[in-house]
Amino acid sequence: MFIPTILTIFSLCSGFLAPIVQSQPIIYVYAYSWTPGFCNDETYPGCLDPQPYWETNFTIHGLWPQYAENGYPDFCTNEPFNDSIPQQIGESTMIQYWPNVMEYPNSSSYDSFWEHEWTKHGTCTGLTQYQYFDTAIQLTNRIPTPTVLYDSVGKNMSANVLRENMGGSDYVSLQCSNQILNGLYTCWNQTDNEPTTQIQCPTSVLKEDTCTDSDDIIIL
């Protein structure tokens, strides 16, 4: 007689539930970083010696598959990070657009940021590693850093004005620490695993907006 164990029951239940989760539509969250705000009061190597580009442009935090309703997949395969990909794309390009300011560029740990983003998020995209990193870099040109932002460096600006310049209040989730801007999220539809058009963000993403204490945000 077959007597199911707890592990067997868990496995059967997991197998039953998996299609329900996987049937949710997948979108992308494209996460930007505003390095001057992220670096506030930090002494990371890239904060002490930033590239000029980082001081006036958003850089990339990550490209994250997300369920259209709530939650996200992560660590979907065991495919290890290929450390030749940055060289294939161009290491200077990767450092400019997707920097790891916590490490020195010549450090053996510099790739750790890219490795994390691939392992946690990239493995869930259905893209090759080259496609994943190249797609994220190309996407940064779709909605470039708005002039109104770098015209406000060293000043306060309206959070709502920034939202409107990044697609609209339902299309972006700003990220602040003590009202100091340090990044934002935008949301994208996808076709064949490639981000296509900016879309309204799910409520779960909009709720992550942390620049809500007042309309004024600080731009370092």
**What are the DSSP calls for 47-64, one per residue?**
HHS--HHHHHS-EEEEEE
Is residue 14 in some structural domain?
A: no
Q: Beta strand pairing status for 180-191 and 172-177?
A: antiparallel
Residue 216: alpha-carbon gap to chain centroid: 24
Cα–Cα distance measured from residue 151 to residue 165, given in angstroms and rounded to the nearest whole number: 13
**212: in domain:** yes
Domain assignment of residue 215, given as a range: 26-219
Cα 198 to the center of its chain, rounded Å: 14
What pLDDT is attached to residue 22? 54
> Is 98 within a domain?
yes
Say if 17 falls within a structural domain. Answer: no
Q: How many domains does the chain have?
A: 1
Domain membership of residue 62 (yes or no) is: yes
- What's 114's domain CATH number? 3.90.730.10
Low-confidence ranges of the chain (pLDDT < 50): 1-21
Whether residue 19 is contained in a domain is answered as no
163 close to 177: Cβ distance less than 8 angstroms: no
Question: Would you state the pLDDT for residue 23?
Answer: 64
- Residue 94, CB-side half-sphere exposure with 13 Å CA sphere: 21
Tell me whether residue 13 is in a domain.
no
- Looking at residue 17, its pLDDT comes to 30
20, part of any domain: no
Token code pair at residue 15: 């197998």
